[in-house]
Amino acid sequence: MQNLIEGFLKFQREEFPKRTELFKHLATTQNPRTLFIACSDSRVVPELLTQQEPGELFVIRNAGNIVPSYGVQPGGVSASVEYAVAGLNVTDVVVCGHSDCGAMTAVATCKCLDHMPAVAGWLHHADAAKAVNEAREHASERARIDSMVRENVIAQLANLRTHPSVALAIEQGRVNLHGWVYDIETGSINALDGTTNRFIPLAENPRVTANSPRLSATV
């Protein structure tokens, strides 16, 4: 805790004064343009990866960057998606997976999670991705896990489309969907190209989106 407290004091002393006017403006309003759905993994920091200031990203984080399909009893993720799309009118939604994801590793390797039943139940929202991934041949366990990360991004984008607010925004052309996979070691991001069904380097294709429907990933 001491590190956190010292970090806060440094923020208050050094960083806050640089953004006094920004925080004064944000005190009564927010207008983020992007909903960023990421894993809770401590190595993935959306604002750092995208170099965004406070107020520019509306962030949802959970184990496995999962978006449950819309249901009769929507939970916190569904409520946050709805608020971002219908309330804040974001124009882009990013689902960002990452390398060495513990959640997707557990799914891909059928790791026993009896000691974490809540986690096991949560990861059932990745069952569609698991089914697609298990139907493929993989050169190694690492390749199996990497493929699972990509398929999960695709599955969660499909789940997003079941949310009424997202479906309406897509129909009206008000929102673009993006599927990203961040590589922790290299700092690179591959993005899903909805027209070719492939993950391609974002740095070389900055305008790529996942808007076109597709069934499964190819590399």
Name residue 95's beta-bridge partners.
Answer: 37, 179
- Cα gap 209→136, rounded to integer Å: 25
Longest CA–CA separation in the chain, Å:
55
Pick the catalytic residue from 13, 96, 101, 146.
101
Give the tokens for residue 197: 């069904």
Pick the catalytic residue from 13, 19, 39, 161.
39
Pick the catalytic residue from 41, 125, 150, 193.
41
pLDDT at 58 over 50: yes
- Tell how many helices (H) and how many strands (E) occur in the chain: 9, 6
CB distance 159 to 69 below 8 Å: yes
Q: What is the pLDDT of residue 213?
A: 53
pTM here is 0.94
Residue 5, helix vs strand vs coil: helix
Query: Residues 64-84: pLDDT tens digits?
Result: 999 999 987 779 999 999 999
pLDDT at 94 over 60: yes
- Residue in the block written with tokens 């909805």: 194
CB distance 82 to 163 below 8 Å: yes
Q: Respond yes or no: is residue 39 known to be catalytic.
A: yes
Pick the catalytic residue from 98, 150, 178, 214.
98
Comparing CA positions, the residue from 204, 196, 154 lying closest to residue 177 is 154
In the DSSP assignment, the letter for residue 218 is B
CB distance 63 to 40 below 8 Å: yes
Query: Residues 133-189: pLDDT tens digits?
Result: 999 999 999 999 999 999 999 999 999 999 999 999 999 999 999 999 999 999 999
Q: What is the phi/psi pair of residue 13, to 5°?
A: -85, -40
Pick the catalytic residue from 25, 43, 124, 174.
43
- Cα gap 127→40, rounded to integer Å: 19
- Cα gap 79→185, rounded to integer Å: 33
Name the average pLDDT for the chain: 95
pLDDT at 52 over 90: yes
Give the tokens for residue 20: 């006094």
| E strands, 31-71, in order | 34-39, 57-62
CB distance 89 to 173 below 8 Å: no
Read off the pLDDT of each residue in 112-141 and give the average, rounded to a whole number. 97
* 29-38, 65-74, 87-96: range with lowest mean pLDDT: 65-74
Q: Give binding residues for Zn(2+) as ranges.
A: 39, 41, 98, 101
Q: Respond yes or no: is residue 125 known to be catalytic.
A: no
Model confidence at 219, pLDDT cuts 50, 70, 90, reads low
Residue type, 185: E
Helix axes 127-134 and 141-160, enclosed angle (nearest 10): 140
80 C-beta neighbours (distance < 10 Å), count: 19
Q: Give binding residues as ranges.
A: 39, 41, 98, 101
Q: Respond yes or no: is residue 98 known to be catalytic.
A: yes
Please name each of the domains of the chain with its CATH number. Answer: 1-28 (no CATH), 31-201 (3.40.1050.10)
